[in-house]
């Protein structure tokens, strides 16, 4: 048993932490296991009489909402995320942190759908898998929005 552990530790020692993180993320569920393109806007009538815009995937999963973004910019962003058009202009840089996508340090998109990912009436994922789905989807959105 000791020789097996020694060999495992030797192999593990030679493997980078970065590789292990990538391997774990590969094994875990990512966004494309759950969400399907194209994404589109949908309106929901709220109890207070307002209509809220939600962004849904092709399977009708609620995936994100825009925050204080002009309608024309929303349309352009959806086309970029769907891969049908690239954004123009190089003065906006997109990034993500803590469930938000930022446009030049301003919150532009809030990633949503946690209840659908983790709920028993939804996909019933573990918290780790749901987090990975949302994080890999945010990575995808940022990469598409930053393509020029």
pLDDT tens string 131-145? 999 999 999 999 999
The answer to whether residues 42 and 31 touch, using CB atoms and an 8 Å cutoff, is no
Question: Who contacts 98 (Cβ-Cβ below 8 Å, separation ≥6)?
Answer: none
| Residue 1 counted as domain residue | no
CB atoms within 10 A of CB 145: 23
Region 24-52: mean pLDDT is: 80
Judge residue 71's burial from the number of C-beta atoms within 10 Å of its C-beta, 0-12 exposed, 13-18 middle, 19 or more buried. Answer: exposed
| Residue 120 counted as domain residue | yes
| Residue 13 counted as domain residue | no
Tokens 């759950």 identify what position? 34
Out of 9-18, 55-64, 97-106, least confident range: 9-18
- pLDDT for 66 beyond 80: yes
Beta partners for residue 54, in sequence order: 42
| Residue 100 counted as domain residue | yes
Number of structural domains (the chain) is 1
Integer Cα distance of 134 and 139 in angstroms: 9
| Residue 11 counted as domain residue | no
Instruction: Look up the domain containing 43 and give its range.
Output: 30-146
| Residue 108 counted as domain residue | yes
- pLDDT for 83 beyond 80: yes
- pLDDT for 111 beyond 60: yes
| Residue 142 counted as domain residue | yes
| Residue 106 counted as domain residue | yes
Question: Who contacts 29 (Cβ-Cβ below 8 Å, separation ≥6)?
Answer: 125, 129, 130, 132, 133
Region 63-76: mean pLDDT is: 92
At 28, the pLDDT band (50, 70, 90 cuts) reads: confident
At 21, the pLDDT band (50, 70, 90 cuts) reads: low
Integer Cα distance of 88 and 5 in angstroms: 55
Task: Give residue 9's pLDDT.
Answer: 60
- pLDDT for 2 beyond 80: no
Residue 110 DSSP SS3: strand
- pLDDT for 7 beyond 70: no
pTM equals 0.77
Task: Give residue 24's pLDDT.
Answer: 59
The answer to whether residues 51 and 44 touch, using CB atoms and an 8 Å cutoff, is yes
């Amino acid at each position: 048993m000791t020789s097996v552990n020694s060999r495992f530790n030797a192999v593990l020692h030679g493997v980078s932490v970065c590789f292990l993180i990538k391997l774990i993320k590969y094994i875990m569920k990512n966004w494309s296991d759950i969400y399907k393109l194209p994404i589109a806007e949908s309106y929901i009538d709220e109890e207070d009489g307002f209509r809220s815009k939600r962004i849904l995937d092709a399977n009708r999963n609620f995936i994100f909402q825009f925050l204080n973004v002009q309608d024309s910019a929303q349309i352009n962003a959806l086309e970029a995320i769907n891969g049908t058009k690239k954004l123009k202009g190089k003065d906006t840089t997109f990034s993500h942190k803590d469930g938000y996508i930022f446009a030049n340090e301003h919150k532009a998109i809030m990633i949503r759908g946690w209840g659908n990912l983790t709920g028993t009436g939804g996909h019933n994922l573990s918290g780790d898998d749901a987090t990975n789905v949302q994080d890999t989807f945010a990575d995808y959105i940022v990469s598409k929005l930053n393509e020029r």
